[in-house]
Amino acid sequence: MVSVSGVRGRVGDGLTPEVIATFAAAFGAYARSRGPGKTVVLGRDSRVSGPMFARAATAALQSVGCDVVDVGIAPTPTVQLAVEDLHAAGGLAVTASHNPIEWNALKFIGPSGMFLDGDEAAAMRAFLDDIPRATWDGLGGWSEDADAVERHLKRILAIPFLDVEAIRAKRFHVALDCVRGAGGTIFPRLLEALGCTVDAINMETDGRFPREPEPVAENLKELEALVRRTGAAIGLATDPDVDRLSLVSGEGRAIGEDYTLALASMLVLRHRPGAVVTNLSTSRLLDDVAERAGVPLVRAAVGEINVARRMQAESATIGGEGNGGVILPDVHLTRDAPVAAALVLQLLAETGESVQSLADGLGRYEIVKEKVARPSQPLDAVYDALAARFPEADADRQDGLRLDWRAEKKWAHLRPSGTEPIVRVICEAPTRAEAAELVETLRAALPS
């Protein structure tokens, strides 16, 4: 499955070392074509298939004359930062992020440390048809970078408004679940630097995930139990490549990943008011946070690179996605779970409130997601008809169709699947019944 930012699939069933090698070589040739640099950073999450695919990618990169700098098992944001720090021509992260254990993937990183955008990805894929291999005297080299995680950690602790000593003084009791992913390489060090007492589970970096790796509420039962058993003030859960963070309250209840970005934004906007950017499918919790701070909220198309590019254009203070992905430009323009954790702990230290109290103060909305058969008509015509059918709603057409009934605090987002003949419908409203009713209203309004 090829997307803007990478290629992914089930190991041994579509995704093979040959596929990885082909795309890695094409990426290396593309990276070299963009300038004189030939260094490519390579890192991976902890998946069992990771070493095999990393070796295949390394050989492929060397075959087109790239010098590989290997950071080993590391968070994807660490790999992206290493591209920046080393002024590399690009980077490859071998990771399937939150996907199940049988998946793996390559993520393509440009010289800015950001994922490739649509135009860049198309230019990279053009090399797939004719990969220019190096001769024996032009093959690339290989070296290790053992300091990438440490540099990442230092960047987080140097966030201008992060009061490390104030957090340390609180001596927060934290429960931690890294799902046996790459989070074990950085989270213990971060929480130690912030003076936290930690009870942790699933810290081994062996990729044998004990639960479904996506850190959504229904997958965090073990962490909820750990919080209740240990009396922790907060539970932190990340995904295998450490770009998403979910929170569990001190009462032992997963509060939902949409609250991560909302709470992190509350903290940042206390110190640095400015535009906030998120995607079209993120909860309106963030609208409420921005409105209370008196700053604009800007929405971009779904996809991290789309949010990051819009953040650049808006000179945004903070941004991210409602899946627990927080982007803080003070560190870099990519989702970063350790950054999110530091910001939330700072918010707890500053306000003296609990996670549950802060979440309750924001209120709650309910999201319902459904799949509907793709209409036979062209989707643009379908979107036109729906916008005309609901003229009272604000319509946004930059990524499918988003209809927003602001006065009623509800919205719907329709966008086609890239892999199935369906349209995904996401609706949010103050209650689940209202959200479900909105789904059915739109389903009935869709032409067959």
Contact present, 249 and 218 (Cβ < 8 Å): no
Helices 76-85 and 337-351, packing angle to 10 deg: 100
Question: 5, 46, 49, 97: which one is catalytic?
Answer: 97
Contact present, 199 and 226 (Cβ < 8 Å): yes
Return the SS3 of 446: coil
Lateral strand order in the sheet of 67-73: 14-15, 6-11, 103-109, 90-94, 39-44, 67-73, 142-144
β partners of residue 372:
423
Number of Cβ within a 10 Å radius of residue 436: 15
Any catalytic annotation for residue 246? no
N residues, the chain? 448
With CA atoms as reference, report the closest residue to 86 among 116, 108, 112: 112
With CA atoms as reference, report the closest residue to 338 among 44, 91, 75, 109: 75
Any idea of the CA torsion for 171, 177, 183, 186, to the nearest 10 degrees?
Answer: 10
β partners of residue 104:
9
Q: CB neighbours of 391 closer than 8 A, spacing ≥ 6?
A: none
Calpha distance 445→414 (Å, rounded): 12
- What is the gyration radius of the CA atoms in the chain, in angstroms? 22
Phi, psi of 342 (to 5 degrees): -60, -40
- Please work out, in degrees rounded to the nearest 5, the angle formed at the alpha carbon of residue 181 by the alpha carbons of 354 and 197: 35
Helices 337-351 and 355-362, packing angle to 10 deg: 90
Question: For 89, how many CA atoms within 13 A lie in the half-sphere containing its CB?
Answer: 20
- Please work out, in degrees rounded to the nearest 5, the angle formed at the alpha carbon of residue 254 by the alpha carbons of 249 and 260: 80
| CA-based end-to-end distance of the chain | 27
- Please work out, in degrees rounded to the nearest 5, the angle formed at the alpha carbon of residue 330 by the alpha carbons of 324 and 333: 55
Calpha distance 309→181 (Å, rounded): 28
Question: For 211, how many CA atoms within 13 A lie in the half-sphere containing its CB?
Answer: 20
Residues catalogued as catalytic: 97
